[in-house]
Structure 1
């Protein structure tokens, strides 16, 4: 049989993401851009995201079933991996249908002998039954907590070791298990918009959890598309909104320089809080996106191109500098599961050096009494507490006002760190 379209699309997404290092969502957007609306788009997206979230666990299972897993063709392992995700986690697809397309695709790409291997491996996987859904299966086949978490929680061994050292056994496991689940859909209601209050009331009964103007939703209601288009709401993770609340963004002195503004999610959050915000970014494409957001929301935010290490063409300067710092992204693995298979410990160390440069440049801009706010979307003490504590030690004119980190008990599946410093 020919391979069903959704599976071919998923394989193309994974090829672009893992072999050519394209960001997962960008690969999804590119591959599905010309595909007609229908179930194939949803299934292809689910297969790509789901497989990458659980790839480590699936690879561990397949290693028990393959004779020479380390010498197995990467093409065969990927086809088996996607098929295994279907068999284990997509109960609405009949087993025979998954076996049929996977074995046929292996035959097409790798020949008849390996198609027989694929058939045998997948049938043996089915025979394992419920056991592979329980942590005992992995605990009994691994030595030590790090290797167990690497297998059960589907992450590289170095990441399990990092979080065990940083957060202890229970919290590391909680963070890792939360990262395996698709996060809720986040939305921020624009409190400045005439429809804002009515929209907030309409969303309240639909929310899994919420803040005053932010909501986490299990499903996206149709009326929100119109609200977003009208500038009454913005798609934004509730976890990202909460870290800004906890850091007291509404009390930061204006004007605020958002020195890593990206497409402007937090820029316009601060604007909606009544702040005067200036936006800068080194990336021209992101600045164009920010200008598009400015038009959609009907808010005028001055924006210019500059690296967050400075220098800045500002006279006079801001009273608050906000750094939504480039980071390893280990706090948003639920939304960007490809990151854990691409990042290395060396990447984290390089980012920490860049973060130091940004903090230094931000501090030089501030007047006495000014604030420096620092946020990352990672779980890595070297990029979080370590950066801030080290920076304060070497810059005695700055004092730590507050710092915070998302808690897995919040149920949002995404984790942010933030700190606010004040210049004496």
Structure 2
């Protein structure tokens, strides 16, 4: 009786899913964060889901550098390579260069993926290309185009226009520091509901699980962690004890300085991180009116408020520009306007955002930012406070917007940020501004304005 053929070993589910997600990102122009938040890795075991997410985020972040190296080692027209073969090569090379996967295992898995997901002969191509680069791993080829911006953009995997922009503004040393930071594994900020659980208790709990964490050096109710997975698995967020929030966002709320019994407007509020922190700082006494134009994202605000047991928050889906007309008598003690922006301060956490931004985005967003500022100003009572904030490092969206606003509104004045945030993060004009390589947090900006009449 003939022996049955041995069944083929199942492909590693994390790597297989990573290839599938990379294809979705390229063909659908999808965002990594949206694919992951949509639960596309939920069918995997937790460990495999985490690895698939890490692969996709890392490859997306380093895509341009990986393309450069693979083109050097591939014998043929790299620009004509079939997409799925390229995704497999991305994955294999990423594992060889950026993970602790043993080289033989990374090679074997990549070859198997190529054979099974592309075609049997593709395994030999993957084996040849990756072995060539493995031999060169300590002396990889470097871009030498003769153009500093182009070489830095390739080596640190950013769009060339972005690097040119930063070189002109910050110079070579600061630009390279920023590019390095954007590609490092970031710290994640986590806010602790210290009215419910002590910060040191959370840190001890994470240490017992082997999670790298430390107290925030600038906020007494925040910690920093290297991995969010264990916190999500521990369900501390669902219990309303913790909230994922960058320290820069927390500092913006500190600059707003909300007090109990006040009426506060949080404009462009979704997904609600700052909204819930405002309500917490007010001890949930008063009114927090949270507006956002996207109805589905307003549901995230309501969910966050419910999760954290906050009853002072009222969330509504409405364009801020319509609020002064819809509610002509609304006069808030404080208004927080966290405007839509290019997000160029959060590239360390948003691996793919660099590839979705274009130079013309700046001019389009500036007009919207001005319109939102005009609407927000109408909601501030005389003597009240308006805080304008962004998560970008671009002056066109930051200082220049405030200067233009003040020229139109002499009844508003700047209040220096020193009294509410660390002095090292306050500019000569009195604005709050973080620099990611220095502060180890997202790049952010905020201006505190007082309405005098």
Structure 2 counterparts to residues 208-357 of structure 1, below 5 A = 209-210=216-217, 211-219=219-227, 225=234, 227-245=236-254, 247-250=255-258, 254-274=262-282, 276-300=287-311, 301-312=313-324, 313-314=326-327, 315-357=329-371
1:338 CA displacement: 1.0
Distance (Å, rounded) in 1 between the aligned partners of 2:364 and 2:332: 28
- Give the root-mean-square deviation of aligned CA atoms: 2.8
Structure 2 counterparts to residues 90-101 of structure 1, below 5 A = 90-91=99-100, 93-101=101-109
1:385 CA displacement: 2.0
In the alignment of these two chains, the number of paired residues is 415
Q: Which secondary structure state, in structure 1, belongs to the residue aligned with residue 404 of structure 2?
A: helix
Structure 2 counterparts to residues 86-125 of structure 1, below 5 A = 86-91=95-100, 93-111=101-119, 114-125=122-133
1:84 CA displacement: 0.7
* C-alpha distance 219-42 of structure 1, shift in aligned 2 (>3 A): closer
Q: Which secondary structure state, in structure 2, belongs to the residue aligned with residue 32 of structure 1?
A: coil
Give the corresponding residue for 1:46: 54
Unaligned runs of 5+ in 2: 1-7, 208-212, 416-429
Q: Which has the higher contact order (CA 8 A, sep 6+)?
A: 1
**Which digits, 9 at most, give the CA deviation of each residue in 1:350-396, with x for residues without a partner?**
22221111111111222332222111112222222222222222333
Structure 2 counterparts to residues 187-206 of structure 1, below 5 A = 187-191=190-194, 193-196=195-198, 199=201, 206=213
1:89 CA displacement: 1.2
Unaligned runs of 5+ in 1: none
TM-score, scaled to structure 1: 0.88
Give the corresponding residue for 2:84: 75
TM-score, scaled to structure 2: 0.83
**Which digits, 9 at most, give the CA deviation of each residue in 1:85-140, with x for residues without a partner?**
0111112x2323322333343344554565443332211111112123xxxx536x
Q: 1:35 aligns with which of 35, 40, 44?
A: 44
* C-alpha distance 413-393 of structure 1, shift in aligned 2 (>3 A): same
Contact 2:246 2:441 in 1 (8 A): no
Distance (Å, rounded) in 2 between the aligned partners of 1:328 and 1:73: 32
Give the corresponding residue for 2:388: 374
Q: Which secondary structure state, in structure 1, belongs to the residue aligned with residue 216 of structure 2?
A: strand
Structure 2 counterparts to residues 376-395 of structure 1, below 5 A = 376-395=390-409
* C-alpha distance 329-143 of structure 1, shift in aligned 2 (>3 A): same
Q: Which secondary structure state, in structure 2, belongs to the residue aligned with residue 86 of structure 1?
A: helix
* C-alpha distance 197-69 of structure 1, shift in aligned 2 (>3 A): closer
* C-alpha distance 272-7 of structure 1, shift in aligned 2 (>3 A): same
Contact 1:224 1:233 in 2 (8 A): no
Contact 2:261 2:287 in 1 (8 A): no
Q: Which secondary structure state, in structure 2, belongs to the residue aligned with residue 215 of structure 1?
A: strand
- Structure in which a larger fraction of residues adopt helix: 1
Contact 1:18 1:338 in 2 (8 A): no
Contact 2:298 2:317 in 1 (8 A): yes
Q: Which secondary structure state, in structure 2, belongs to the residue aligned with residue 388 of structure 1?
A: helix
Contact 2:231 2:237 in 1 (8 A): no
Contact 2:16 2:113 in 1 (8 A): no
**Which digits, 9 at most, give the CA deviation of each residue in 1:15-40, with x for residues without a partner?**
23332133312312422122233x32
| Structure with larger Rg | 2
1:416 CA displacement: 1.1
